[in-house]
Structure 1
Amino acid sequence: MSELREKMKMDMELKGYSPNTIKRYIGHVSNFSKYYDKAPELLKEKDIREYLHYCIMEKKLSEGSVNYINSGLKFFYTITLNRYWNMDKIFRIKEPKKLPSVLSPEEVKSIFDVTDNLKHRTILMTVYSAGLRVSEVCNLKITDIDSKNMQILIREGKGKKDRYSLLSKSNLEILREYWRIYHPTEYLFSGNGRTDSITPRSVQKMLKKSIKKTNITKHVTVHTLRHYVESFIMVSLRLNPCVTSNYF
């Protein structure tokens, strides 16, 4: 599959897919080929259906994982091999919609209170205050902080689109304190002894470490912290137009 692998890789690069998506899609096609011990171009619609069924019933993969495999195979057959994809026969599995965990103002405050490391607290507060995705806070550069206009530039966010987010006064204060101590050079947040950007996994680990120090039993992710500010502000403004947050 080496030539086809390179062709599929080029097809995805031409479409602007992320390196992570390219790696995962190629991996799914490779696993599909290994399952039948045949070159993927020799496999048919029936084989695809049976493999997806195997992933659901035997491997017990989640709906999202199965649909991701479906997408990888669909790209390979429709774009790389230029074949017809019968959506009436190779359909996506319906994914359940679950309500996200919601944190109270006290719970959000407790997370910051137990985060003793200044860099970690600054990262988490920036996610919370500016409503950033984990990849977005990792890729922030010093030049993205616009204190004059009180805004943060997010480069190539979701959909590879640039956008601005608000920079709160308290967020700016802790960013300045952080800069005075750490003196970052290019990326705002880097790993210890490094100059490249911190990894999303590192941010997730620091949040998990802080959660363990609190009494919070809910399932909390960086995504939860990011979306909390939106719902809290909307509810707070309806209840009390003068309400403010200790951290925003």
Structure 2
Amino acid sequence: MNQTISALRFYCKHVLHHPTEIQFIRPKKQTKLPQVLSEKEVAQLLKSVTNPKHKAILFLTYSSGLRVSEVVRLRCSDLDIERQTLIVRQGKGQKDRRTILSSLAWDMVQKYVTEYRPTRWLFPEQSSDRHLTERSVQKVFEEARQRADIVKKVSIHVLRHSFATHLLENGTDLRYIQELLGHTSARTTQRYTHEYEKYSAYSEPAGSFGFGRLNASINLPFSPNSSSQILHHRLSYT
């Protein structure tokens, strides 16, 4: 549509020589809200994975709200053992940030590291010293989605969206979610507010399924007291 308008403006200006006779209103670009998985769907997804490496990848992606490009470029040295946090180096916008690492995700990573013993990249390719490709990680997610019988057509990025939405549902401050996600603009993070309002309008109230029941079945990265846990993480490294 915008290309058509530009062509018409060019025609009016350079052929008709009347650039102001026709006024055009350009259509606004549509903004799509991010899709999310429910807590139950995340539990199904994570429970469907048995490979330690794949399990560590998906737990880290969800529990730390990582982009797939950040997951594949993690180095072993990015794990802060003392603070049990994760350093994301040169994320989008070329900025480093520190993000949370749940106890369960930490355990999954430790089990994986003990068994596979990576040295440089946290998730290296099997036959080379390079890190996994984004396509490989997407394939891991897609296979887990199918095994978990999740019908939503989503990519691994949905775990990042779900991380933010679930924190919001549990009362975490939006500005802190912005820090964890590495968003430069607060407007980007505010999309999750709209998604949460839309979702909560027709879904069960927060806690009706709840982290309590989820934790009983799989111990998701967050608990009913996730906000206080996150605050503890924040205080420990500020």
2:220 aligns with 247
C-alpha distance in structure 2 between counterparts of 1:92 and 1:157, whole Å: 33
1:123 aligns with 57
2:122 aligns with 188
2:77 aligns with 143
Aligned alpha-carbon RMSD (Å): 2.7
Superposition deviation, residue 93 in structure 1: 7.1
Higher relative contact order (CA 8 A, sep 6+): 2
Letter in 2 for 1:152: L
- Choose which of 187, 206, 210 in structure 1 pairs with 2:144: 210
The TM-score with structure 1 as length reference comes to 0.60
C-alpha distance in structure 2 between counterparts of 1:92 and 1:181, whole Å: 57
Letter in 2 for 1:185: T
Do structure 1's residue 234 and structure 2's residue 168 form an aligned pair?
yes
C-alpha distance in structure 2 between counterparts of 1:217 and 1:190, whole Å: 30
C-alpha distance in structure 1 between counterparts of 2:32 and 2:48, whole Å: 29
2:154 aligns with 220
C-alpha distance in structure 1 between counterparts of 2:26 and 2:123, whole Å: 39
Letter in 2 for 1:219: K
C-alpha distance in structure 1 between counterparts of 2:117 and 2:103, whole Å: 20
C-alpha distance in structure 1 between counterparts of 2:96 and 2:121, whole Å: 17
C-alpha distance in structure 2 between counterparts of 1:92 and 1:205, whole Å: 39
- Choose which of 135, 152, 164 in structure 1 pairs with 2:86: 152
CA separation of 1:93 and 1:194: change in aligned 2, threshold 3 A: farther
Superposition deviation, residue 98 in structure 1: 1.8
C-alpha distance in structure 1 between counterparts of 2:116 and 2:27, whole Å: 48
SS at match of 2:87: strand
What pairs with 1:27-66 in structure 2 (closer than 5 Å)?
none
Q: Which moved more, 1:207-216 or 1:183-192?
A: 207-216
SS at match of 1:153: strand
State the Cα deviation string for residues 114-169 of structure 1 (Å, max 9, x = none): 11211111101100001100010100000000020121111100100000001111
SS at match of 1:159: coil
1:88 aligns with none
Letter in 2 for 1:198: L
Runs of at least 5 residues in structure 2 that lack an aligned partner in the other structure: 8-24, 173-205, 222-238
Superposition deviation, residue 201 in structure 1: 0.7
Count how many residue pairs are aligned between Structure 1 and Structure 2: 164
Identity across matched positions, percent: 35
Letter in 2 for 1:110: Q
Runs of at least 5 residues in structure 1 that lack an aligned partner in the other structure: 1-48, 54-90
CA separation of 1:114 and 1:92: change in aligned 2, threshold 3 A: farther
2:34 aligns with 100
